[in-house]
Amino acid sequence: MTNPHDEGPDFGYAELGRIRLHYAKSGSGKELVLLLHGFPEFWYSWRHQLADLADEYTVVAPDMRGYNLSEKPPDVASYKIDELIEDIAALIKYFGHEQAAIVGHDWGAGVAWAIAQKKPEILSKLACLQVPPPSVWRKNQTFRQFAASWYMFFFQIPFLPEMLLKSGDFAKLANGLKTTTAREGVFTNEDIEKYREAWARSGALTGGLNYYRANIMKRMFGKAPVPKKIEVPTLFIYGEQDRAVLPQTVEGVGDMVGAEFTELRIPEAAHWVQLEAREKVTTALKEFLTK
């Protein structure tokens, strides 16, 4: 049966004072669910879940700062994790809520974990896809993971990554999406054209890369205080064929959670798990959110 919300979300701009964020929104339920994308995506990463969760919730997928139609501050410091946390806190208030369930993938997961550590009062529930908390990543770091993460260090270089990624009408980014799924056809040619349109917006590519430049060296490899346990109900979903975040790197995520914790491993999916395993991810999210 076709979900009526598959026809597409509504769009708008949240003027937050600190930043202007574009967003996609579906549903009108009492509870707010925020869907946070990663690199090199935009709200479109969550198109399936925007439809699938809209019957029961108000579901919002913003373009994170620096991406697509959202504002793109030019300086690297504007992409530090504390700035990203405050964006989401302001967005929750913009929609008239004190708390939200936050679902994050890739860098969106990184922001979500940071919110759980630094601003847990705005979280009702936490769901993270593919990326573990930084403390778990550091604990599990191996040479294989270091090699798989080579691009994070390449992205630290100014200007050159932008030049290479833009060449050939963003051929490397498009190929990166198409060839890192567990099965063919997850990203259609039509999807890739939508991504190209988002990447081509002025400042968008640099905005996405600045997440790495502002945070990676300190969060993944720098000295950090012993982290507090996360005290909100937490779901972790992992597609086991991920070639960027290796299975060993996500071992022991539950050790960082002091509240109810659920973990779902999906053997037939890779990094883009919410697209590759739409039904399993949506079912897990619905069960988790309604507990």
Catalytic residue among 23, 57, 212, 238, which? 212
Task: Give CA–CA dist 14/26, Å, rounded.
Answer: 15
Q: What is the per-residue burial (b if ≥16 Cβ within 10 Å, else e) of 181-203? A: bbeeebbeeebbeebeebbebee
| Amino acid identity for residue 176 in this structure | G
Residues whose CB falls within 8 Å of the CB of residue 52, separated by 6 or more in sequence, listed in order: 3, 5, 278, 282, 285, 286
Our answer to whether residue 57 is catalytic in this structure is no
Catalytic residue among 22, 37, 105, 271, which? 271
Instruction: Give the up-direction half-sphere exposure of residue 192: CA atoms within 13 A in the CB hemisphere.
Output: 16
Question: Residue 100 — φ and ψ, nearest 5°?
Answer: -145, 155
Our answer to whether residue 271 is catalytic in this structure is yes
Q: Which two tokens stand for residue 20?
A: 């202007």
Catalytic residue among 52, 63, 87, 106, which? 106
Task: Give CA–CA dist 260/125, Å, rounded.
Answer: 10
Name the 3-class secondary structure at 196: helix
User: Alpha helix locations (H) across 57-120?
Assistant: 81-94, 107-118
Question: β-strand 261-266 against 32-36: which pairing, if any?
Answer: unpaired
Separation in Å, CA 138 to CA 112, 147, 151, 221:
17, 14, 17, 7
Our answer to whether residue 106 is catalytic in this structure is yes
User: Per DSSP, what are the bridge partners of residue 103?
Assistant: 35, 127
Whether residue 114 contacts residue 38, with contact meaning beta carbons closer than 8 Å, is answered with no
- Active-site residues: which are they? 106, 212, 271
